Amino acid sequence: MGFALDEKSYEGEIITKVVEEVKQVLNRLSQTSLNPSECLGKSPHKHPKSQESSWGIEHRLKQLEEKLSLGFEETTRIIGVVGMPGIGKTTLARKLYEKLKNEFLNHVLIPDIHEISKEHGLDSLPTMLLEDLLNVKDPNIETLQDAHQPYKDQLLKTKVLLVFDNVTSRKQLDALLGNRDWIKQGSKIVIAKSDKSLLQSFVDYTYEVPRLTDRDALQHFIHYAFDNDQEGDHALNFSKLSKDFVRYTKGNPLALKILGAELLGQDETHWELTLAALAQQHKSPPGQSTTKMLHNVWRGSYDGLSQQQKDTLLDIACFRSLDETYITSLLDSDGLKNEVEDLVNKFMINIYAGKIEMHDSLYMLSKELGQEATATDGKGRHRLWHHHAITNVLEKNKGASNVRAIFLDLSDITRKMSFHSHAFAKMSYLRYLKIYSSQCPQECDRDIKLNFPEGLQLPLNEVRCLHWLKFPLKEVPQDFSPENLVDLKLPYSNIERVWEDNKEASKLKWVNLNHSRKLITLSGLGKAQNLQELNLEGCTALTTLHVDMENSSDASGQKPNGHFD
């Protein structure tokens, strides 16, 4: 676009022409429906592929068809399709619909039911269904419960194929299907959702979409990470890196697609830096995550959680891959054991070999969300991981009342630091305090890096987990209340006794004081009647257990397991 100007040109007319031309260009651009995210971080000639990958689809589609067709031809089947976010539930449901719809006179696919009901209300769901099934406009619906009754006779004449995607509540299913007496025998219904607990007693079978096999996951990733003419020889040069990305995503198709689109057209150095950023996410300071591209895999499911479920998920992220009994013991102080089961049903976590596991990309998101989390009660839910953020709070006390958890790796601290005695005094909602070293036991005997020359105040009563490597004082301060304490670890510390007097510690199950060479008595633990494990290895100054400790046992009557030097 250009205009020639000379001294005879009329400036107003030229400006008018320019404005009109710009309007036309902008109008054409607005009609192209460009996705802004597709224009970022790519070379000018590399765009994410519009053609979807089909790797792994056929096998899963065959499995789902088999479950849907079980029984006689005239058997009505309702199948639930469940799985973690990004696993391909929507894709699979749509593919199944496209494959089977021509076998039915009437068929309906309703996408993203959660968003439809959220925007238009539950009443809109049976309206959409009946409009599509009967080809009527504005069907007569008097009540939500009896929405199908005026058309029951007509509906019973024809078998139907119904596919409902992204169902998030039982109320949505009730609105769509009512009492189901209008469904003709031989109909097939598929319900895709992320919470398998909502389908109990409602469906004939629940199909859990499996992760992609290593082979399919690699091919799925290659489809998005390379141009069509590069998928052969060029992909071989990135073979190891490609497999590393596949391993990181654990066969999640959406995560692989997002990463592939991000890496398309980029050089090997960019690939290596992206992989390193994923692996070192826990070291990234707040607000500097380089992996936000994966957040969309989980963000919708996270936003749909209740406040208690969000708190539980973000707390679990603090103790990922640890024993289920241990984590639920920490959470049980709030009576939140059922929340763990809910998160399993929603595929946000899973329990494998007795340990609670979480997908790496969700773990990454949870740690980032945890740093700034808030709740409807106005209380902060901050979980701090980065040493700069932690030492800043300890030094300035700014935002201390919002801190829920501190996880400080002493190997990140390069010099000795001294703090005021009141550094923790305002952290009244602190639940998890862990000061550790990722280089221990190799360097456990190094000098103490955190010092409190004027003593230490710990007026805390919400703490469930207190871990402090090389605890610098002779005892835990008198103002600390262990009434909610479940796990106490003070290895390689200067303590001579745990705390003064016998304090109420009925929830305390695990105590580890190993290599606290100045420890001379356990008298303060006399009321820890449910203690299950006591580690005193290397406590060379301790010659005998306190009489109350010798008589203690847990609720099952078992003596605590001991580790002694």
| Domain definitions of the chain by residue range | 57-208, 214-279, 281-368, 369-564
Mean predicted confidence (pLDDT) in 220-242: 77
% of the chain surpassing 70 pLDDT: 81
CA–CA distance, 190 with 104 (Å, rounded to integer): 14
Q: Is 484 helix (H, G, I), strand (E, B) or coil?
A: coil
54-82: b (≥16 Cβ within 10 Å) or e: ebbbeebbeebeebbeeeeeeebbbbbbb
Give all strands of the β-sheet with 403-409 in edge-to-edge order. 382-384, 403-409, 432-436, 465-468, 487-489, 510-512, 533-536, 561-564
| pLDDT beyond 70 at 232 | no
Q: Of the ranges 87-91, 93-97, 280-284, 298-302, which one carries the lowest mean pLDDT score? A: 280-284
**Where residue 371 falls among pLDDT bands split at 50, 70, 90?**
confident
Confidence at residue 45, expressed as pLDDT on a 0 to 100 scale: 38
**Where residue 234 falls among pLDDT bands split at 50, 70, 90?**
low
Mean predicted confidence (pLDDT) in 509-534: 92
Return the biggest CA–CA distance within the chain. 108
Residue 487 φ/ψ, nearest 5 degrees: -135, 125
CA–CA distance, 450 with 462 (Å, rounded to integer): 23
Regarding predicted confidence, which is higher, 208 or 335? Answer: 208
Confidence at residue 286, expressed as pLDDT on a 0 to 100 scale: 46
Regarding predicted confidence, which is higher, 183 or 364? Answer: 183
Confidence at residue 7, expressed as pLDDT on a 0 to 100 scale: 43
Mean predicted confidence (pLDDT) in 528-541: 93
Strand 417-418 to strand 432-436: parallel, antiparallel, or no bridges (unpaired)? unpaired
Confidence at residue 561, expressed as pLDDT on a 0 to 100 scale: 59
| pLDDT beyond 50 at 511 | yes
- Whether 263 contacts 270, CB under 8 Å: yes
| pLDDT beyond 50 at 15 | no
Confidence at residue 11, expressed as pLDDT on a 0 to 100 scale: 43
**Where residue 154 falls among pLDDT bands split at 50, 70, 90?**
very high
CA–CA distance, 241 with 24 (Å, rounded to integer): 45
Q: Of the ranges 221-235, 365-379, 547-561, which one carries the lowest mean pLDDT score? A: 547-561
Nearest Cα neighbor of 437 from 501, 492, 371 is: 492
CA–CA distance, 236 with 462 (Å, rounded to integer): 54
Angle between helical axes of 170-177 and 113-120 (0-180°, round to 10):
80
Mean predicted confidence (pLDDT) in 375-386: 80
57-208 shares its CATH topology with 281-368: no
| pLDDT beyond 90 at 13 | no
- What pLDDT, in 10s, does the model give residues 339-360? 899 999 999 999 999 999 999 8
CATH 3.40.720.10 assigned to 57-208? no
CA 26 to mean position of chain CA atoms: 40
Residues 6+ apart with CB under 8 A from 12: none
The domain defined by 281-368 folds into Arc Repressor Mutant, subunit A (1.10.10)
Sign of CA dihedral 114, 115, 121, 125: negative
Q: Of the ranges 19-28, 126-135, 527-536, which one carries the lowest mean pLDDT score? A: 19-28
Q: Of the ranges 339-343, 375-379, 423-427, which one carries the lowest mean pLDDT score? A: 375-379
Confidence at residue 275, expressed as pLDDT on a 0 to 100 scale: 86
Model confidence pTM above 0.85: no
